């Protein structure tokens, strides 16, 4: 639930570049201390939204309010308490690590030399790089530079911290480590984090709520589990990527009739009988077997690929109507099954996980 007096409110914020609308009228309320992630494909409007909040671009229409009353729509970026951690880090190569962290404390907070040095060293220590304080930026690894950028922003002790895909330049292992670090810092500091990413695992692992954008429209805002299990529309279901969508029609008995058979649903709001409907089947709830079990929700399928990713196995299947079904299982759950391309298997799922997608409104 959003607080009655959120820290930041976007009220019908819109951004156009000439005849191109980059962000359609958007409403978003952010609670103090929340971790909000903006997700979506390239060109969806997530970076435009972040730049509007930072004051780097100005809205074409709408308002932006702090604490529900202070209109900051036209406030310049240097007068907003919202430092940004950039994808490229944007560190000053002619300054040392410590001097980079001190920069905002001198220019924005006007701290005297002793106080800003003390605070800079405290933040470098907090991020585990105090021993690098006097090094040049070019002597640092990508992960170390990222920590300097975060220390520089957090040393200002802002109310809102903006992060623009800050982990994209890191390798997979370092990225996972920094996800934990960012989440720990967020929990400890109580600062509001607004995080832009195209990486679903990052957003779902860290954020309290995620906002999915497409073509300048917010498609859904909700907790990660809500977005994953109950997507608001087909775009969100497909963007999340771990679902199979079976199209058909509602029957009078409350099932969805498809070319593969009739399947029960237990979640969502089904349309009227005989209306078109789409059933979402989550990849992690599908069971695989070499023989038919006779359960209510079961289909025959052909194995296309099997991908081992360490913690789980992703199996791609082709159903009789050509639909591709994704299945994600632990290795121990599929030991003994023939999953070579072309093999035949049976896929089934419990009726209670079946979710009917909301009908698209034209």
Other CB atoms within a 10 A radius of the CB of residue 224 amount to 18
Closest CA to 168 of 128, 145, 206, 198: 198
Closest CA to 347 of 303, 306, 309: 303
Which DSSP letter does residue 206 get? H
Q: Please report which residue ranges of the chain form alpha helices under DSSP H.
A: 46-54, 97-107, 113-126, 142-154, 172-189, 200-206, 224-229, 234-240, 331-334
| Helices 97-107, 142-154: inter-axial angle, 10-degree rounding | 20
> How far is C-alpha 175 from the geometric centre of its chain's CA atoms?
14
Which pTM value belongs to this model? 0.87
Three-state DSSP class for residue 45: coil
Q: For the chain, what are the domain ranges?
A: 8-229, 243-356
**Residues ≥6 apart with Cβ < 8 Å to 74:** 58
pLDDT digits (tens, 9 = 90+) for 258-303: 998 899 888 888 888 889 999 999 999 999 999 888 878 999 999 9
Decide: 347 and 325 in contact? Cβ < 8 Å.
yes
Our separate counts of H helices and E strands in the chain read 9, 21
**Could you read off the pLDDT tens digit of each residue along the chain, which spans 362 residues?**
444 679 999 999 999 999 999 999 999 999 999 999 999 998 899 999 999 999 999 999 999 999 877 899 999 998 898 999 988 878 889 999 999 999 888 877 778 888 888 999 999 998 889 999 999 999 998 888 888 999 999 999 899 999 998 888 777 788 888 888 889 889 998 899 999 998 888 899 999 999 999 999 999 999 999 999 899 999 999 998 788 999 999 998 889 999 988 998 888 888 888 899 999 999 999 999 998 888 789 999 999 999 987 778 999 999 999 999 999 999 888 888 999 999 999 999 998 898 999 876 54
Decide: 124 and 154 in contact? Cβ < 8 Å.
no
| Architecture per CATH, 243-356 | Beta Barrel (2.40)
Is 8-229 in CATH node 3.40.50.300? yes
Other CB atoms within a 10 A radius of the CB of residue 251 amount to 14
pLDDT digits (tens, 9 = 90+) for 207-220: 999 999 999 999 99
């Amino acid at each position: 639930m959003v607080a009655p007096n959120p820290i930041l409110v976007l009220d019908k914020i819109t951004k156009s570049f000439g005849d191109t609308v980059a962000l359609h009228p958007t409403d978003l309320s952010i609670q103090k201390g929340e971790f909000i992630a903006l997700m979506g494909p390239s060109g969806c409007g997530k970076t435009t939204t972040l730049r509007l909040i930072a004051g780097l671009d100005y809205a074409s229409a709408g308002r932006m309010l702090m604490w529900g009353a202070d209109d900051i729509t036209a406030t310049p970026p240097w007068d907003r308490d919202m430092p940004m951690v950039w994808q490229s880090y944007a560190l000053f190569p002619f300054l040392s690590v410590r001097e980079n962290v001190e920069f905002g404390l001198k220019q924005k907070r006007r701290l005297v030399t002793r106080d800003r040095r003390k605070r800079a060293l405290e933040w470098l220590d907090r991020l585990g790089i105090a021993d690098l304080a006097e090094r040049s930026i070019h002597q640092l690894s990508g992960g170390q530079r990222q920590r300097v950028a975060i220390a520089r922003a957090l040393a200002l002790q802002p109310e809102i911290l903006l992060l623009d895909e800050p982990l994209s330049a890191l390798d997979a292992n370092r990225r996972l480590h920094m996800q934990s670090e960012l989440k720990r810092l967020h929990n400890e500091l109580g600062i509001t984090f607004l995080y832009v990413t195209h990486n679903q695992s990052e957003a779902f692992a860290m954020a309290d709520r995620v906002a999915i954008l497409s073509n300048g429209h917010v498609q859904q805002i909700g907790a990660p589990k809500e977005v994953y299990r109950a997507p608001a529309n087909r775009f969100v279901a497909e963007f999340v990527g771990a679902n199979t969508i079976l199209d058909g029609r509602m029957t009078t008995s409350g099932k969805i009739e498809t070319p593969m058979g009739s399947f029960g649903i237990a979640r969502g709001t089904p349309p009227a009988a005989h209306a078109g409907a789409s059933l979402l089947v989550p990849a992690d709830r599908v069971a695989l077997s070499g023989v038919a079990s006779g359960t209510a929700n079961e289909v025959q399928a052909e194995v296309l690929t099997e991908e081992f990713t360490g913690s789980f196995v992703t199996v791609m299947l082709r159903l009789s109507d050509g639909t591709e079904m994704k299945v994600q299982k632990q290795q121990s759950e599929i030991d003994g099954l023939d999953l070579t391309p072309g093999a035949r298997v049976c896929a089934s799922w419990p009726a209670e996980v079946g979710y009917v997608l909301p009908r698209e409104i034209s």
